[in-house]
Amino acid sequence: MRRAERLWGAAVLQLLLAARVVAAFEPISVGITIGAVSLLTGYLSYKDIYCRFSECCREEQPLNASALKLDLEEKLFGQHVATEVILKALTGFKNNKNPKKPLTLSLHGWAGTGKNFVSQIVAENLHPKGLKSNFVHLFVSTLHFPHEQKIKLYQDQLQKWIRGNVSACASSVFIFDEMDKLHPGIIDAIKPFLDYYEQVDGVSYRKAIFIFLSNAGGDLITKTALDFWRAGKKREDIQLKDLEPVLSVGVFNNKHSGLWHSGLIDRNLIDYFIPFLPLEYRHVKMCVQAEMRARGSAIDEDIVTRVAEEMTFFPKDEKIYSDKGCKTVQSRLDFH
């Protein structure tokens, strides 16, 4: 009996290995192999086995909120508001089996405060391959939409790209970087996809996620942070309600925000305007330590201090916040 079980297990293993080998060559052969394994095992579906060898869109896969929380708390520094809002927004959205619209987040703050890093963390927690996933799409304004005279072309291309990818995977993620450099009007092309429609031309966008990254509003966020500091209040006392209304109005009226007079704001289609606070000296040191750990280096506090002290801080008198956040930490660490 045991011998028979061993032979059966070996047969299944050989078929699985065969599927892996032929996966790069011929999908029909893969299908036949997977079908054979399914018959042998009696419980593995075609999709279950296929997805072991090729990336699949798992629309119903729940979000591991604990893993996301841990990533945000351990890798993102000085951003208590962003951490809380992103965790709650994503958890609530993914737990909702029938959302009424896509989740749309707009992340604001100066360069180096963690916006791109957070979008990477979010992507990795939604699709294992992160930014390399076939279901995560990154648009960079200066790269993909450089010419003001081609706005109509960009709008058409953007609609087709999003429609095609959501048709292939309902839980696709779209990240728009450098929104503050996006020509006004381009982003409004996707307004129908973000609205409360069950379907648009036969496609449902309700399970997709859209993330906007922008430096616009950084001055408003810094002013609020400074007001708290000068009033003797803790940074951690700043809440979303202290910044979100100011951000939405400020971005709407800013000609260089990418969302100037946008219907996305006018129709309240952006679910959260999330502020990224300017980083203090202590947060820069945390970034240096994290980078050293990522490189497999022992934490040398002397080096950590030297790198942090090389950064420049503002305002001129108080020198509280790093003017580049943690953006140049990697390159500066290379010199030590």
Binding-site residue positions: 109-116
Structure tokens at 120: 């990477």
As beta bridge partners, residue 174 has 137, 210
Rounded CA-CA distance 92/106 in Å is: 17
Closest C-alpha among 97, 122, 126, 128 to residue 107: 122
Annotated binding site for ATP: 109-116
Phi-psi region at 61: left, alpha or beta (left = phi > 0; alpha = psi -120 to 50): beta
Phi, psi at 232, each rounded to 5°: 80, 15
Question: At CA 272, angle to CA 180 and CA 267, rounded to 5?
Answer: 80
The dihedral sign for the CA sequence 124, 126, 129, 134: negative
User: Contact, 191 vs 264, CB < 8 A?
Assistant: yes
How far apart, in Å, are the Cα atoms of 2 and each of 6, 20, 40, 42, 200?
6, 27, 17, 19, 57
